[in-house]
Structure 1
Amino acid sequence: MTPDIDIPRPAAPAIEAQPLSPALGARVRGVDASQPLSPATLAQLLDLWHAHGVLCLPGQSLDELQQVRFGEYFGELATTQGEYQISKSHPAIMYITNEKENGEYVGALPDGEMYFHSDMCYVEKPSKATMLYAMQIPSQGGNTLFANMYKAYEALPAATRASLAGLKAVNSYEPGTSAPMAATRMRSARAEGVRSYSHPVVCTHPVTGRKALYVNRLMTEYIEGMPREESDALLESLFDFQERPEFIYEHRWTPGDLLIWDNRCMLHARTDFDASELRKLRRITVKGERIR
């Protein structure tokens, strides 16, 4: 009888993480997002995500359902808004693209993306996470900017941080570019039934316990209980501060990049690009809880 021989099995590749920038983010290697994750790998990945706010997994090859499965490791997925839903395989899939069929856009590429914002901040329970998978990228532009709201809050003068405690701000779906436009935008928003919701100006992350600014130039309208002129001035100063270069990382996409960011503590925006070139990314979002 041939004795049993122990054949050494290759160890699973270790996860490697390198900072994307001094401001935020990590590039993660050693994870194949198209395959199921072990509990140990998932735990390590979530720890990295909470620590860095944005994770980039380069060189991925994902179909729709593989991306859905990977996204579900971060929580329950949200359903794509009806006007953008073009995937028949899963209701969470949405395409961010300037692609056209029969002269009509088949995905979403709103101009508002070019201003910093937080996804779904105009509803009671905003998205916890957003994930983008790069499929086709223009030769220049179409980059995604991320801003670290932990660092922005922590860099504020102590007196300013104290003055923000307990304040709430209204966020609206109707896009805009600055706080002084708020009065006009809110009148039309109410008339059209556009969604809006009030959240703390400073939130506390439910996992890390860190505080972060939770306002943004695109959708934050005004601070509750504060005279409009004073509210506008304070918001403009916060917008300018949170968009300082030292808090920002600019991601230049490569096809196969998979990015997932923490929507509770990171803002994002898009740079412009030549509309004659195709930009196509596949997006899913993860449901969140009330901002506190």
Structure 2
Amino acid sequence: MTTDTGTGTTGGPRGGAERGGAVEVRPVAGHIGAEITGVDLAAELDDRVIQEIRAAVLRWKVVFFRGQRLDHDTHVAFARRFGEPVVLRRRGSASPPDVPEVETTADRLELGGRFGMDHEEWLRRRRHTLLRGWHCDHGARVDPPAATILRAETVPPYGGDTTWSNLAAAYAGLSEPVRAFVDGLRAEHRLGVGYQPRPGDDAYVRHLMEHQVATVHPLVRVHHETGERVLFVNGYYVEQIEGVSRAESAAILQMLLEQAVRPEYTVRFRWEPGSVAFWDNRATIHLAPGDNAHLEFPRIMHRVMLRGDVPVGVDGKPSEPITGSEPGRW
């Protein structure tokens, strides 16, 4: 998302809905999340409606639409109103071959098989701590996506919810001395952090060594559009805080991750077929569901991500790539 609306705050109206013509933005939690009604995302929306949606995303960090009738092409067309969609170099067989901007989440079921593991083992080796699954999309890159637009095609009758957390609210909730401390820190974000290798030869470890992605990001980034300070941590990519010992780094990161996912900063969304979630990937982390695999119901989702900027810290210093990515190249 590239247009500055000047609407980014962590305050806002006390209850009720925000109205703008036929569009209604109804907050669903105290710090994050709003449901938008009165919009057909498959239609040719005028600029006023686009600006209202953009302002709601910046204000509430994630917004939800229900009962939408998007297909792959209209999904991409809607995303283009807010920025340039990312085209991944590699997708799985479930993604539509003729619409390169769309990635289907069912592709991830294939990942473990590429490295000799079933999906359950694949998840277990990558998510072995309670906070491990929380992430922003492609956070190890030097220019993580600015936003993600995810739509549901098929969902289980129960289970399969997604949860998001507001990292601007989490930063604001820290005490002043801790904010001053973390403002000046930087951390290494790396693909494959915390992965538990298989005994003997591990094909995924070889893959990580051959396709590694790593970046030094500010621990507090200044949001490009709103100017908010954002606690830029997650359990999936962060490897080590620079300038401190590994023991100190682990303790600080544990504290900050627990702060980032405090329940009051989160919202949980119950998907339905035709639901769409649109979130600011710069100011949130999210947690994919872990309660539906044993149910054996299909869950098919499609996402489009928007290109982002290189994060900048409180000191004005941008993130620095270590390996595997450079701005604008995917």
TM-score bracket, shorter-length normalisation: 0.7 to 0.9
Distance 1:160 1:84, change over 3 A: same
**Alignment match, 1:182:** none
Contact residue 177 and residue 218 of structure 1 kept, 8 A: no
Separation of aligned partners in 1, 2:259 and 2:108: 35
Superposition deviation, residue 83 in structure 1: 3.5
2:214 counterpart (178, 189, 196): 196
Contact residue 92 and residue 108 of structure 2 kept, 8 A: no
Q: Deviations over 1:203-256 (max 9, x none)?
A: 111111111100101111111121111111101111111111111111111111
2:184 counterpart (136, 143, 166): 166
Separation of aligned partners in 1, 2:306 and 2:46: 20
**Alignment match, 2:106:** 97
**Alignment match, 1:287:** 307
Distance 1:48 1:165, change over 3 A: same
Superposition deviation, residue 40 in structure 1: 1.1
2:163 counterpart (140, 145, 149): 145
Contact residue 29 and residue 57 of structure 1 kept, 8 A: yes
Contact residue 31 and residue 60 of structure 2 kept, 8 A: no
Separation of aligned partners in 2, 1:77 and 1:211: 25
Amino acid of the structure 2 residue aligned with 1:25: G
2:269 counterpart (229, 251, 254): 251
Superposition deviation, residue 99 in structure 1: 9.5
Separation of aligned partners in 1, 2:163 and 2:78: 23
Contact residue 98 and residue 280 of structure 1 kept, 8 A: no
Amino acid of the structure 1 residue aligned with 2:293: D
Aligned 1:46-57 pairs, distance under 5 A: 46-57=54-65
Deviates more, 1:162-171 or 1:189-198: 189-198
Q: Does 1:236 align with 2:254?
A: yes
Superposition deviation, residue 269 in structure 1: 0.7
Amino acid of the structure 2 residue aligned with 1:210: E
Separation of aligned partners in 1, 2:249 and 2:300: 38
What secondary structure sits across from 1:97 in the alignment? Answer: helix
Superposition deviation, residue 30 in structure 1: 1.1
Separation of aligned partners in 1, 2:170 and 2:88: 30
What secondary structure sits across from 2:177 in the alignment? Answer: helix
Superposition deviation, residue 14 in structure 1: 1.1
**Alignment match, 1:27:** 35
Separation of aligned partners in 1, 2:171 and 2:261: 12
Distance 1:206 1:64, change over 3 A: same
Distance 1:149 1:99, change over 3 A: closer
**Alignment match, 2:327:** none
Q: Pick the structure with greater CA Rg.
A: 1
What secondary structure sits across from 1:55 in the alignment? Answer: strand
Work out the percentage of aligned pairs sharing the same amino acid. Answer: 29
Superposition deviation, residue 80 in structure 1: 2.6
Distance 1:54 1:95, change over 3 A: same
Separation of aligned partners in 2, 1:169 and 1:100: 30
Distance 1:172 1:68, change over 3 A: same
Amino acid of the structure 1 residue aligned with 2:24: E
Distance 1:248 1:80, change over 3 A: same
Amino acid of the structure 2 residue aligned with 1:30: G
What secondary structure sits across from 1:84 in the alignment? Answer: coil
Separation of aligned partners in 2, 1:177 and 1:265: 25
What secondary structure sits across from 2:302 in the alignment? Answer: strand
Q: Does 1:124 align with 2:123?
A: no
Separation of aligned partners in 2, 1:150 and 1:207: 13
| TM-score normalised over the length of structure 2 | 0.76
Q: Does 1:274 align with 2:293?
A: yes
| TM-score normalised over the length of structure 1 | 0.85
Superposition deviation, residue 77 in structure 1: 0.5
Separation of aligned partners in 2, 1:209 and 1:161: 16
Distance 1:139 1:274, change over 3 A: farther
Q: Deviations over 1:32-79 (max 9, x none)?
A: 110111011111111111111101011101110000000111100001
